[in-house]
Structure 1
Amino acid sequence: MTSPIHEIHKSLGACFCEIKGWEMPGHYSNPVEEHLNVRSNVGILDLSHRGKVIISGKDRTSFLQKILSQDINSLTPSSGAYSTLLDVKGRMLAYMKIYCDEDSFFIDLEPGLSEIFVQALKHYQFREDVVMEDVTERYGLITVQGPQSRQLLSSVANMDIKDMPECSHINLPINNINTKVVRTSYTGEEGYDIYALRDEIHTVWDALIGPIFGIEALETLRIEAGTPVYFSDMDEHTIPVESNLDKAISYTKGCYIGQETISRIKFRGHVNRTLTGFYINGDIVPVKGDKIIKIIHDIEQNVGVVTSACHSPTLNKIIAMGYIRIECSEQGETVHIESGSQRLPAVVTKLPFYTRD
């Protein structure tokens, strides 16, 4: 599959990469320069491959309230939140952003998750009046990220856009196209997602005059920001508390699928591992699945695993995210990462690696 503006990317000299069956721009020029543009100014990125689901019907709110981990009853039109879909053991089947509209919910998911999500929800649907539509290919999505993102958006929309809470959204005409604009960030910078119909997203892209960036720069930006991604840093075996996703969980709402496990961890126990960061000495970048080793009582033990890693253009260091046993997770702990035939010295650090002051 390709983005609705695939031909535009080709004309701009994009080098493409494959993501869950989609051919998307990996980079246009130097990915490091694209990365630094976002940190210092602004960057524009096509994310049309992300999963998109619309849930409607008169029972939509009560249905999602008993299924998802977020307090759906608290959402009002133009508001939004992060949430998860869990199994009965509290493990994540999906991680999402959910946006409340007047007569429906619009749900944004990682590429490749929309079909899984819809099928999982249908498993719990009985007589409720709920309609679930996978609209991934109906809508395009462009994100604008960086400290100048709101200024660019205000200029394009010809209006002063005020600061918006995370996941809140507005309907905004851009170049005479109706769009949904959501305050969100993947990069640690201020950012906005812009949704428009597939046949109209090219008109929105044409209006957004500024530096463009690709998936490779997005990856280094989001690792610096400590932003976990489903399929990379989380999967169906992960409990959201392990991934520091408290923002996706309501601890005050009533029952939902997996709630018993989550409440027990929160109020009476703890998880055995946690997602954290690592600074790595040297110039070798570890890969997903590399083991994290520590000497404990003179015995070498496997204490964790790497999930994402890169050379950080902002910090000029090798950094990684991964899970480590709670007792080894204190900042400053020294460990080693086994990467191929190499053993890389590393130091545990808190996430994120980067925040804007």
Structure 2
Amino acid sequence: MLETALHAYPAARGAAHADDRGVVLPRHFGDAAREYRALREGAALVDLGFRTVVRAVGVDRVTFLQGMLSNDVAALRPGEGCPALLLTIQGRVVADVRVAATDETILLDVDVRARDAFVEALERLVVADEVEFVPPEAPVALVGLEGPHAERLVGENLAPYAHREIEVADIPVRVVRASEVGGPGLVLHVAGGRAPALWDALVARGAEPCGMEALEGRRVEVGVPRVGLDMDLTVLALEVPVEDALSTTKGCYLGQEVVARGTARGHVNRGLVGLVIDGPVPPGGAPLVRDGKDVGRLTTVAYAFGLDAPAALGFVRREHWEPGTELRVPHGHAVTLARVAALPLA
């Protein structure tokens, strides 16, 4: 079980922790509804220890990644960034990645649970290229600052995915304009040993510590897919809402032919949709049924605070994905109603 750089620190300040697919993360800090309000209306402070940083170094790092990742890495200048995917040749999702270009390296922010598969997939394709994928020179912790007041708390106003080295309360950080829930937010890269001090400094400025319960609820409401839950090697890139991570103008990249064919055809056979749950809460992975036939499956199930009800993301076949369509979810001895709803749910 992986513990984050902040694990012992929030625990000492009232966080209730739980295993999140192999990573111990704060579920809440005593009042998940209040934490949700901070995500929507203020500034919410999130332990992003479920993500990590890989450094791409070497003179061929840009050209190599341009041929591997789904977005236009070659167009980035130092201080700029973009979202991207690493796909298989069949167009299926290995990992999502936030790319940040610097003068001497490219920083790749990936889910820690997908890191090994991500690096191994890239390294298998290195032939004569001068590029390596290595950890940061010193341990780095990622801290999220989500909500409309996030930028004010650190005094930065950045373009999407742009990044800059600054100091917050005399603590050196790299601040990246990015969000786990598709809203206004920042990701702060900080030396692992300074993460508790950064946490305290942001709380002193008005940030509200926020656990995964509120974060996942908001993520489901807005329909942001997470690798390992809503995206994996069974999922085509075009089946999930990741348009910002797919360049339509760059040259070839791994899986690009499948993406181009699907785009030209104009549709896929299934897609990730939002669902409002009515009845006993089913688990992720439960089937979605219409007229006695399986037509999809749930991927993420969470409490949607904006709806005051449970909600889910799930894959549904295109003939059943119209908002308002009612599906059944058999699980255990129960059957729950799941109603397709337009995103965002709240």
Give the shorter-chain TM-score range.
over 0.9
Match of 2:281 in 1: 285
Match of 1:158 in 2: none
- Secondary structure (helix, strand or coil) at the match of 1:212 reads strand
Q: Which of 212, 221, 231 is the equivalent residue of 2:218? A: 221
Q: Which of 324, 334, 340 is the equivalent residue of 1:342? A: 334
Match of 1:176 in 2: 170
What whole-Å deviation, never above 9, does each CA across 1:181-220 have from its counterpart, x for those lacking one? 0111223431111101112222222211232111222111
Does the 8 Å contact 1:114/1:134 carry over to 2? no
Moved more, 15-24 or 228-237: 15-24
Closer, same or farther: CA 260–198 of 1 in aligned 2, 3 Å: same
Match of 2:198 in 1: 204
CA distance in 2 between counterparts of 1:7 and 1:107 reads 26
Match of 1:234 in 2: 231
Length-normalised TM-score, structure 2: 0.93
CA distance in 1 between counterparts of 2:117 and 2:338 reads 36
| Percent of pairs with identical residues | 30
CA distance in 2 between counterparts of 1:34 and 1:245 reads 26
Does the 8 Å contact 2:224/2:241 carry over to 1? no
What whole-Å deviation, never above 9, does each CA across 1:244-279 have from its counterpart, x for those lacking one? 212111122111111111111111353210001112
CA distance in 2 between counterparts of 1:342 and 1:248 reads 38
CA distance in 2 between counterparts of 1:129 and 1:74 reads 20
- Between the two proteins, the alignment pairs up a number of residues equal to 342
- Secondary structure (helix, strand or coil) at the match of 1:200 reads helix
CA distance in 2 between counterparts of 1:10 and 1:31 reads 15
Length-normalised TM-score, structure 1: 0.91
- Secondary structure (helix, strand or coil) at the match of 2:153 reads helix
- 1:87 offset after TM fit, Å? 1.0
Does the 8 Å contact 1:44/1:144 carry over to 2? yes
Closer, same or farther: CA 189–82 of 1 in aligned 2, 3 Å: closer
Alignment of 1:12-161 (within 5 A): 12-135=13-136, 138-154=139-155, 161=156
- 1:58 offset after TM fit, Å? 0.6
Closer, same or farther: CA 101–331 of 1 in aligned 2, 3 Å: same
Moved more, 339-348 or 105-114: 339-348
Match of 2:186 in 1: 192
Match of 2:263 in 1: 266
CA distance in 1 between counterparts of 2:242 and 2:339 reads 23
What whole-Å deviation, never above 9, does each CA across 1:275-316 have from its counterpart, x for those lacking one? 01112223x222111111112xxxx21111011122211111
Q: Give the counterpart letter for 1:49 in structure 2.
A: F
Gaps of 5+ in 1: 155-160
Q: Give the counterpart letter for 1:301 in structure 2.
A: K
Moved more, 233-242 or 216-225: 216-225
- Secondary structure (helix, strand or coil) at the match of 2:172 reads strand
Closer, same or farther: CA 70–188 of 1 in aligned 2, 3 Å: closer
Does the 8 Å contact 1:16/1:27 carry over to 2? yes
Match of 1:255 in 2: 252
Closer, same or farther: CA 16–153 of 1 in aligned 2, 3 Å: same
- 1:136 offset after TM fit, Å? 10
Does the 8 Å contact 2:213/2:302 carry over to 1? no
Does the 8 Å contact 2:220/2:274 carry over to 1? no
What whole-Å deviation, never above 9, does each CA across 1:8-62 have from its counterpart, x for those lacking one? 2122022212235432222221222222232232211111331211101110010
Gaps of 5+ in 2: none
- 1:126 offset after TM fit, Å? 1.2
